[in-house]
Chain A
Amino acid sequence: RKEVEQDPGPFNVPEGATVAFNCTYSNSASQSFFWYRQDCRKEPKLLMSVYSSGNEDGRFTAQLNRASQYISLLIRDSKLSDSATYLCVVIASNSGYALNFGKGTSLLVTP
């Protein structure tokens, strides 16, 4: 079983819609959590970190539930430019602090 699991999608949503992605992790020693964005055939780039208290960056909101080992990303008012693959990333203290990636969730925002 992979340590970080995501629904691969694809999620096809119209512009302006709200969409939510979920991610679960299995390593209880996980201590840092992130969402990365990857455009087709490009390198991943950090979208936002995820904190226990939840955090918001414009139209993007990330939540962490340590008890359930669950991370979410909410995108409001979707734009065409949000179309990408969203990668859930976890760092565990017992794995050398290397990033452990989920397989990604594909989002397509349509006009």
Chain B
Amino acid sequence: DADVTQTPRNRITKTGKRIMLECSQTKGHDRMYWYRQDPGLGLRLIYYSFDVKDINKGEISDGYSVSRQAQAKFSLSLESAIPNQTALYFCATSEPLGGETQYFGPGTRLLVL
């Protein structure tokens, strides 16, 4: 079984809809991250969390919110989806002490029409 799972794997939604992307991990890591990847722009950090009570904005947090429900779960929400949020979204986890290795989930492909 995968250590980092994401649901759904693919999602098509309409402009203005609220959607949630979920991430679960069995690695026991405290640190979790959400990234988006766009062609030509690389991976960009949306939000990150160093433990259940810690939430931090990343480079591109506008239009997104997150919830760290437990050590193992970190959800990303788009309150009102817009077409330029169409992207590949990755969740990742890491150990403390600088998070040298990040372990990524398989990604969620989101299309906003």
A103 x B58 contact (CB < 8 A) = no
Residues 41-83 (chain A) with a chain B CB within 8 angstroms: 41-46, 49
Asked if A22 is at the interface (CB within 8 A of a chain B CB), the reply is no
B40 x A103 contact (CB < 8 A) = yes
Number of B positions contacting A (CB below 8 A): 23
| Smallest CB separation, B66 vs chain A (Å) | 13
| Smallest CB separation, B25 vs chain A (Å) | 13
Asked if B74 is at the interface (CB within 8 A of a chain A CB), the reply is no
A43 x B101 contact (CB < 8 A) = no
Give the residue of A32, A45, A46 whose beta carbon is less than 8 angstroms from that of B98: A32
B104 x A44 contact (CB < 8 A) = yes
Give the residue of B40, B98, B105 whose beta carbon is less than 8 angstroms from that of A97: B98
Asked if B100 is at the interface (CB within 8 A of a chain A CB), the reply is yes
Provide the bound-state CA to CA distance between A44 and B94, in Å.
13
B107 x A43 contact (CB < 8 A) = yes
Asked if A21 is at the interface (CB within 8 A of a chain B CB), the reply is no
Provide the bound-state CA to CA distance between A31 and B58, in Å.
19
Asked if B43 is at the interface (CB within 8 A of a chain A CB), the reply is yes
| Smallest CB separation, A62 vs chain B (Å) | 14
Give the residue of B40, B41, B101, B107 whose beta carbon is less than 8 angstroms from that of A46: B101
Asked if A98 is at the interface (CB within 8 A of a chain B CB), the reply is yes
For the complex of A and B, the 5 pairs showing the least CB-CB separation, nearest first, are A43-B104, A103-B42, A101-B43, A101-B42, A46-B101
**Interface set of B (CB-CB < 8 Å, partner A):** 33, 35, 40-45, 48, 56, 58, 88, 90, 92, 98-102, 104-107
**Interface set of A (CB-CB < 8 Å, partner B):** 8, 31-32, 34, 41-46, 49, 87, 91, 96-104
List 11 A-B pairs, Cβ < 8 Å. A44-B43, A44-B104, A46-B102, A91-B98, A96-B48, A96-B56, A97-B99, A98-B33, A98-B58, A99-B43, A102-B42
